[in-house]
Amino acid sequence: MTNASTGHTGGINGGLADGSVRFIREGISDAVWWTAMTPDRGDILGANW
């Protein structure tokens, strides 16, 4: 899995398909990150999203 990287402290800004932008915290789990990156599977994002 490739990790996202940024110059921001504590997380990364991510653009979502609905046009919104969300700050994604540095401590997000691999499972939640994978779920967010594969929306066509229909999985529910965890509480730490």
- In-domain check, residue 46: no
Indicate the pTM of the whole model: 0.60
pLDDT at 1 over 60: no
Task: Give CA separation, 9 vs 1, 6, 26, 38, 49, in Å.
Answer: 21, 8, 8, 25, 17
Under the banding of pLDDT at 50, 70 and 90, the label for residue 2 is low
**Cβ contact 30:46 at 8 Å:** no
Split into its structural domains, the chain has a count of 1
- In-domain check, residue 49: no
- Residue 34 lies in domain: 11-41
Summarize pLDDT for 7-46 with one digit per residue, the tens.
Answer: 778 888 888 888 999 888 888 888 888 888 887 888 888 7
